[in-house]
Structure 1
Amino acid sequence: MSKKRTNRTAAVLMLCAVMLVGAACGKSNPAGSTDSGKAGGKNAEWAEKVGLNKTETVDELYEKAKQEGKVVVYSQSSRIKDVKASFEAKYPGIKVDAYNMTTNDIVEKVIREQGAGVFNSDVIFVKDAAGTVSTELTSKGLVHKYMPKDLTDKMVEPYKSKSPGIVPYVSLRAFYYNTEVYKEPPVSNWWDLTTPEWKGKVILEDPIQSADTMDLFLAVVKNADDMKQAYKEKFGKEIELNGTENAGYEFFKRVLKNDPILVKSSDEAVDAVGAKGQAKPPIAISASSKQRDIAEKGLKVAATYDIKPKLSVVGPNYLYVANNAPNPNAAKLMIRWMAGEADGKGEGFKPFNVMGSWSTRSDNGRTDQPALDKIKVWDYDTDYFYNNFIKFREFWLKNQ
């Protein structure tokens, strides 16, 4: 077995283990984490006891947080290092221990730690990762929402009152192309990626390693009717399935036959597309927020959002308080900071308020990019993603 396939197989086993570990934790209920699989129980009592249902002033929280002395953050974004710097400058006496990990690693770490009765983290900053956060963490009380009213009052629906946790911003996947060669986007339909023109020249983040890419690909197979219509618009005829169950799976079967380049990160994808001096540059599907690096790196690359049938799936970024967090007041203060504070001007939100990210608030969003409601996107379907991600992984590996 090749090293490439071995690494992918190991990744599958690790991610599938998240579900198994979560199930085991739900049964074991270690000390301090009882009733984690229930809506109530000691976890809910703890959340109420530390005031996660309250809206306190920053001054009140800071006085309490200084007594705690630190806050531990598990973050799915490397930009947490910038948040650490601004938070420690704003709130002297509170140290930030920030750990940058993938969402999948965070989920597994939280489940294993709390399953062993270890409560190390305070703030959990994640995406849903094929519904694993909603299913394995929030619904079992391993993390709790903290949504102070003076922040949520500024948010738009569904993030104002219908969210399982506070969402400071959402992000998408975008299609990237080289602007040195192409003066306008060279693709406009997902099915373009299956044509001979783009054989060996499509860069994808491997969904086995990227939770965001997995979410997007699951949205494609769920919305197979959209993909069927897009095929007809592209080729002028009805699609014929070749042993697949719908047009979504058929798309990925054909893409994989077209020799895509699989990479591990958004940086790797966008850098490869935007490198100068290429005669036949590739295109890529990658994180929309990577546009923040284009000028600094001197890349010749741009993103397009105009793709049929739809561009992407909306990816909310959630902030939670970990169950039995040792520093709950510092956790609340940090979440407020990262969500922009009551006036929307908190420095903690600035690292995330970049091109390719969309604030959920009405008072601090960017005006130099298309409004989110003007971009055609699929909804995030937690239940479908959670119930189908193993099936899709098996399909993906089988057809590589």
Structure 2
Amino acid sequence: MKKKRKAATGLLVAFTMMFMLAACGSGAGEKTHGGGGKAGGAGGVAAASEWAEQNGLNKTETVDELYAKAKQEGKVVVYSQSSRIKDVKASFEAKYPGIKVEAFNMSTNDIVEKVIREQGAGIYNADVIFVKDASGAVSTELTTKKLVHSYMPADLTAKMVEPYKSKSEGLVPYFSLRAIFYNTDVYKTPPVTNWWDLTMPEWKGKVLMNDPIDSADMMDLFLAMAQHADEMKEAYKAKFGKDIVLNGTENAAYEFFKRFLANDPVLLKSSDEVVEAVGSAAQGKPPIGIGASSKLREVIEKKLSIAATYDVLPRISVVGPSYLYVADKAPNVNAAKLMIRWMAGEADGKSDGFKPFNVMGSWSTRTDNGRTDQPGIDQLKVWDYDSDYFYANFVKFREFWLRMQ
């Protein structure tokens, strides 16, 4: 395998830290804020649930009501997985004078670690948490333990499709995918139609991607393949016309990982690097790439000759929902509610707070503000996100991946 990254395995370190912090979270820090109890323990969960109810996180209030209260708070603190939060900050402050936005752009892994560490020490700084699930870490370490709370006002969720309307553990304004990118100057149609294509000699050393040890989104895709190994088996037969023969692996998914690694994928640090390398002009035989579908927003800006295919056997990807939560004991809880409404499109779906995320390669969960220039949600052949399975199996996959390198 070809690597273009440092040897440090960032995701491994982050998850190890999460487990260490979570293990001691119920006893870390006697100090509390707002009468809360210790983060992570049974008493802390009960107190956090009571705080959420007392602060109306189960209610739907009007924007005017929230704004009047939020102005008394004066600011809102957001821990964000996306750098586009800077655009949200600008539009929110313009819409709601008197409320300043303090936005911190971090990876989901860093956000999880920071929230666990802060609340374990009795520090409650964040108001809004904007994250993906990171192989089930957010669901297991934050939502279940009530370090963050769901806020799903009825006038927003009424416009959403299932499962985000009533079965989601937090407000999901949109989701994205891992997509396969190809150079449109060279390939007029997608050169890959089956994941097993990536094990063929013509793609040896020609597939660019983020290392799943460093990228939770990439790991989630491979975990979804492992969960649906039966579909990977069927895709093998569709590609080669015969049943798969395993070579020391437990199922077709792990056999795919083994053969794919043997075909020398090039590991890069970000999806930006992937799409720029794939979409550069004047390439004789350009590589293909696996990266964040939302990077399609950069095609025009960076003048990239690139497209993504969503028609790949057995499925193109696993959904990657982006969640908005209110942090436990948020000091500016009304401003947090107002911010979440703003980022989710507000009741009419038209707020400027959602515009930075309503891009090519992202799919709104609402019926009133999605894009029409890409496949609809009902046309995407994707796996559902199973946070319990991902959290229970990421160590197993990680160890296999590292052993095969």
Q: Same fold (TM over 0.5)?
A: yes
Listed one character per residue, the Cα deviations across residues 54-98 of structure 1 (whole Å, up to 9, x for unaligned) are 111111111111111111101111111110110011111111111
Cα distance in 2 for partners of 1:26, 1:272 equals 46
Give, in angstroms, the shift of residue 20 of structure 1: 2.5
Structure 2 residue 55 is the aligned partner of structure 1 residue 50: yes
User: Quick check: 1:246 aligned with 2:247?
Assistant: no
1:261 pairs, out of 249, 257, 266, with 266
Q: 2:127 aligns with which of 119, 122, 129?
A: 122
Q: What's the offset of the Cα at 1:30? A: 3.8
What secondary structure is seen at the aligned counterpart in 1 of 2:8?
helix
Distance 1:287 1:294 in 2: 13
Q: C-alpha root-mean-square deviation of aligned residues, in Å? A: 1.5
| Alignment correspondent of 2:79 | 74
Residue correspondence of structure 1 range 102-117 to structure 2 within 5 A: 102-117=107-122
Among 334, 342, 360, the alignment partner of 1:355 is 360
Q: Secondary structure at the match of 2:53?
A: helix
What is the aligned counterpart of 1:87 among 89, 92, 97? 92
Superposed CA deviations along residues 177-221 of structure 1, whole A, max 9, x for unmatched, are 000111110010000000000000001111111111111110011
SS in 1 for 2:202: helix
Structure 2, unpaired ranges of 5+? none
Distance 1:362 1:131, change over 3 A: same
Q: Give the Cα separation in 2 of the matches to 1:278 and 1:120.
A: 49
Distance 2:154 2:11 in 1: 40
Q: TM-score, normalised by structure 2?
A: 0.95
Query: What does 1:12-31 align with in structure 2 at a 5 Å threshold?
Result: 12-28=12-28, 30-31=30-31
User: What's the offset of the Cα at 1:13?
Assistant: 2.8
1:167 alignment counterpart:
172
**Where does residue 159 of structure 2 map in the other structure?**
154
* Secondary structure in structure 2 of the residue aligned to 1:341: coil
By how many angstroms is 1:29 displaced? Answer: 6.7
Mapped partners of 1:323, 1:137: distance in 2: 10
Residues 1:273 and 2:274 aligned together? no
Note the C-alpha offset of 1:232.
0.9
Question: In structure 2, what is the equivalent of residue 216 of structure 1?
Answer: 221
Between Structure 1 and Structure 2, how many residues are aligned? 398
> Residues 192-341 of structure 1: matches in 2 within 5 Å?
192-341=197-346
What letter matches 2:109 in structure 1? N
CA deviation after TM superposition for structure 1 residue 31, in Å: 3.3
CA distance in 2, matches of 1:50, 1:222: 39
Partner of 1:7: 8
Q: Which runs of 5+ in 1 are unaligned?
A: none
**Counterpart position of 2:385:** 380
| Deviations 1:126-161 (CA, angstroms, capped at 9, x unpaired) | 011110000000000100011111111111111111
